[in-house]
């Protein structure tokens, strides 16, 4: 079985300072720094509306990152359980005009250890 290419691989160059590790899972690529999940990269033919760079954040990140970066949108599939928790996903869709600029800016925030991005648990 051939290995799939990592989508949006250009961002890995911007994550060099954090020594990121890429782990494929469920047809997506999870990017970690140690135990901390930083991003998920998804580019699949099924459900293309879910493609892009997924950014795990919290309530503060939702309020501030979406203002700072309008290309970041709340993940469309949040159910009632997720809405009550502090775990929130933002997505940069690859068809957005500001996709690359926003992705690079998010990587810069990660490199500077911005506490609004990432989590140590998927729950």
119 pairs with which residues across the strands?
37
How many distinct structural domains can be found in the chain?
A: 1
Which residue range(s) make up the domain with 91? Answer: 11-46+65-111
Residue 51 falls inside a structural domain:
no
Nearest to 30 by CA among 17, 18, 20, 45: 20
Question: What are the residue ranges in the chain where pLDDT is below 70?
Answer: 1-3, 77-86, 121-123
Residue 32 falls inside a structural domain:
yes
Q: Which pLDDT belongs to residue 33?
A: 95
What residues have CB less than 8 Å from 110, skipping those under 6 apart?
15, 18, 33, 38, 39, 117, 118
Residue 58 falls inside a structural domain:
no
Q: Which pLDDT belongs to residue 2?
A: 41
Q: Which pLDDT belongs to residue 77?
A: 62
Rounded Cα distance, 120 and 29, in Å: 16
Q: Which pLDDT belongs to residue 98?
A: 97
Rounded Cα distance, 56 and 119, in Å: 6
To the nearest 5 percent, what fractions of the chain are helix, strand and coil? 30, 25, 40
Please report how many Cα atoms fall inside a 13 Å half-sphere around the Cα of residue 93, on the Cβ side.
Answer: 13
Query: What pTM was estimated for this model as a whole?
Result: 0.87
Q: Which pLDDT belongs to residue 9?
A: 94
Q: Which pLDDT belongs to residue 69?
A: 97
Residue 69 falls inside a structural domain:
yes
Residue 56 falls inside a structural domain:
no
Beta strands in 3-87 (DSSP E): 21-25, 28-33, 36-42, 52-57, 72-74
Rounded Cα distance, 108 and 11, in Å: 10
Q: Which pLDDT belongs to residue 11?
A: 96
């Amino acid at each position: 079985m051939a290995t799939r290419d990592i989508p949006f691989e250009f961002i890995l160059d911007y994550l060099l300072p954090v020594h990121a590790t890429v782990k494929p899972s469920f047809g997506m690529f999870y990017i970690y720094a140690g135990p901390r999940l930083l991003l998920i990269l998804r580019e699949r033919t099924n459900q293309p509306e879910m493609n892009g760079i997924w950014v795990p954040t919290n309530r503060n990140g939702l309020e501030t990152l979406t203002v700072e970066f309008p290309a970041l949108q709340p993940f469309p599939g949040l159910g009632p359980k997720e809405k009550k928790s502090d775990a929130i996903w933002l997505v940069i869709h690859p068809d957005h005009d500001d996709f690359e600029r926003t992705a690079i800016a998010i990587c810069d925030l990660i490199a500077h250890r911005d506490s609004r991005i990432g989590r140590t648990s998927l729950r």
